[in-house]
């Protein structure tokens, strides 16, 4: 998107993220149905904190967004990328 390449299933620290764009330091996570359980939500919050402490930006989308609302997902991603570009 916007000329940036995203790597899939990228190891970062002790985690493997769904998508990663190195130039933007942007991580995209796609959360499935299991991410609604409290135990998983606690792990996700810890994971997000660790990734953010590494200087990474994290975006989360649901699997349902991918399946049913791709236009919104892509628009949100494009806006986020533009915001990151404007930070530099």
Residue pLDDT, tens place only, 52-61: 999 999 999 9
**How far is Cα 36 from Cα 59, in angstroms, rounded to an integer?**
17
Between vectors from CA 59 to CA 79 and to CA 22, what angle results, nearest 5°? 85
pLDDT at 36: 61
- pLDDT value at 41 more than 90: no
Q: Which CA distances in Å does 37 have to 11, 42, 44, 78?
A: 24, 9, 10, 29
């Amino acid at each position: 998107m916007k000329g940036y390449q995203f790597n899939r299933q990228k190891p970062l620290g002790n985690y493997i993220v769904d998508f990663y764009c190195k130039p933007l330091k942007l991580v995209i996570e796609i959360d499935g149905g299991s991410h609604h359980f409290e135990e998983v939500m606690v792990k996700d919050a810890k994971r997000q904190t660790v990734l953010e402490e590494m200087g990474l930006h994290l975006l989360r989308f649901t699997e349902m967004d991918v399946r049913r609302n791709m236009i919104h997902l892509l628009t949100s991603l494009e806006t986020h990328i533009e915001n990151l570009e404007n930070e530099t």
